[in-house]
Amino acid sequence: MEIQKLIERTNQLLKEDRYTNSRICTYNWLWKKGILSYMNYRRLVDFDEKVGKECMLIFHDGGTVTFYHRDLIKSIDVLVNVFLNDNLGKRMRTPAQYPFRGEIGSAAEDYFEYLKARGISEKKTIQSYKRIVSNFVEYLLEKGVSHISGIIEDCIVKFIESRQYRQKEYIGTIRRFLNYLYKEHLIAKDYSYVLQSLGKNVKHIKTPSFYSPDEIRQLEESISRTSNLGKRDYAMVTLCSRLGLRVSDVAYLSFKDINWENNSINIIQYKTGNPLTLPLLPIVGNAIIDYLKNGRPKSTSNKVFLSCRPPYGEMNPGSVHNAIAVAFRESGVDFGDRHHGGHALRFSLAQRMLDKSTPIPIISETLGHTDVDTTRTYVLIDFTHMMECVLEVPETSDVFYTQRGGWFYD
């Protein structure tokens, strides 16, 4: 099949499976960097399984697969599945390795040990940093920079420019790494300033997205609970809207987390690693029971929520977010330019609690924040109490306007 037609068909299937626009763009970028580059080099127009396999072998390096190369391989594997079976295939389980080779790689390893000693979460934050710094190290090696002394402004800027997606995340992580190298006297110059200028934008304070009680009610009531999908999505929405759970905690909710006897949910939060106990409200508990009895596919998984399509795999935070976003779009709620995912539902719960004059520490405890200062962000949407602080604008006499230099001075 002609490669461009295959890519068009694959994009169609990605949209039908409700992949986000961001993820679809990432796939197209990976095809451009991987299979299209390979086929152009070989002057090939038609794609088949053999061409795909040959290209994938290029990105294997003695069994070690970097995060970037794993994504390139995955993008080609998707095309092979569409070519052979007209479907996207199953999710690849190839674990990504983060090689830190050479002198710069050794300094990166020391950097991560430094972060661990400072109490930075290894499960999520450091793992994310490893992916980005590993890509940076591999990029430098590809450009012939094997020693720390070879790191200069030019290669830093070009690396960031080569990251077309999630560039802001790359800027922040590499800036912190370069700052560490400077403080440890491993480089003579603090190159983090290069990225500060690259990533510096005018900071606009934007009011967090939230919805009124009527809008939340409209969202919940619009979800049809006659289908398996509707039963599942309704239960997930209520967990976010009534209890304020993050989409990650909804996705990874397991049966052992629900204490039916005491009507409570007891989880270890995915983002913070801290325990959180919340009351199992009747509307939430009944929604979960309805899904478990009448909507959940048969499975040996200990996770509560599963995909509604074969092979009925476990949910992930992205799929929970997408399900909520679809529910919003189909509810008729006019969300305009407001965010319409799980986080907006958390903000909406906080706003309702603020309206009832609930103290910040209680809101913080309900939302599972580790720091009360994090919860203070929600004060931005406490319009009811902010209006009580508004001062009356004093009246101005006519003399002010008619004085020399005034608007109406003649």
* Residues 353 and 223 occupy one common structural domain: yes
CATH number at residue 286: 1.10.443.10
Residues 46 and 143 in one domain: no
Give kind and range of the element (H or E) at residue 249: helix 247-251
Q: What torsion, rounded to 10 degrees, do the Cα atoms 26, 28, 33, 39 define?
A: 160
- Residue 171 located in a structural domain: yes
Q: Are residues 80 and 142 in the same domain?
A: no
CATH number reported for the structural domain that contains residue 153 in this entry = 1.10.150.130
Query: Based on the domain organization, do 245 and 351 belong to the same domain?
Result: yes
Same domain, 370 and 313: yes
Question: Can you give the pLDDT at residue 202?
Answer: 41
Q: Are residues 235 and 267 in the same domain?
A: yes
Cα–Cα distance, 117 to 114 (Å, whole number): 5
pLDDT of residue 383: 54
Q: What is the pLDDT of residue 255?
A: 96
Neighbours of 122 (CB within 10 A): 14
CA contacts within 13 A on the Cβ side of 292? 15
Domain boundary among 174, 198, 222: 198
How do residues 104-133 score in pLDDT, each as one tens digit? 989 999 999 998 888 887 767 888 888 888
Helices 167-183, 102-117: inter-axial angle, 10-degree rounding: 90
32/57 same-domain check:
yes
Number of domains in the chain: 3
22 and 170 belong to one structural domain: no
Annotate 309-353 with DSSP letters as a single string.
STT-PBP-HHHHHHHHHHHHHHHT---TTS--SHHHHHHHHHHHH
**Residue 339, beta-bridge partner list:** none
Encoded tokens for 299: 């499975």
My answer on whether 46 and 188 are in the same domain is: no
Range list of H helices, 42-166: 49-58, 67-85, 102-117, 127-142, 153-162
Residue 57 lies in a domain: yes
For residues 180 and 269, state if they share a domain: no
**Per-residue pLDDT at 400:** 60
User: Would residue 126 count as lying in a domain?
Assistant: yes
List, run by run, the mean pLDDT of 10-residue segments along the chain (410 residues).
91 85 87 89 89 81 62 88 85 60 90 87 80 86 87 85 73 89 88 66 58 92 94 95 92 95 92 88 95 93 91 90 92 86 85 75 71 58 57 68 57
327: which 2 tokens?
Answer: 């529910």
- Give the separation between CA 7 and CA 47, rounded to whole angstroms: 10
User: Does residue 178 lie in a domain region?
Assistant: yes
Residue 362 sits in which domain range? 213-387
* Sequence-ordered list of residues with C-beta below 8 angstroms from that of 405, at least 6 positions apart, any chain: none
Give how far the C-alpha of residue 68 lies from the chain's centroid of Cα atoms, to the nearest Å. Answer: 18
| Residue 95 within a domain | no
Q: Tell me what pLDDT residue 385 has.
A: 55
Give the largest Cα separation in the chain, rounded. Answer: 87
Task: Identify the bridge partners of residue 46 per DSSP, sorted by sequence position.
Answer: 2
Whether residues 376 and 270 share a domain: the answer is yes
* CB crowding 202-226: b at 16 or more within 10 Å, else e: eeeeeebbbbeeebbeebbebbebe
- List, for residues 189-205, the tens digit of each pLDDT value: 888 777 765 555 544 44
Is residue 204 domain-resident? no
Instruction: Say which residue the tokens 């809207």 belong to.
Output: 241
Last residue of a domain, one of 198, 227, 246: 198
* In a shared domain, residues 361 and 273: yes
Does residue 156 belong to any structural domain of this protein?
yes
Question: Final residue of a domain: which of 198, 226, 243?
Answer: 198
Note whether residue 398 is domain-resident: no
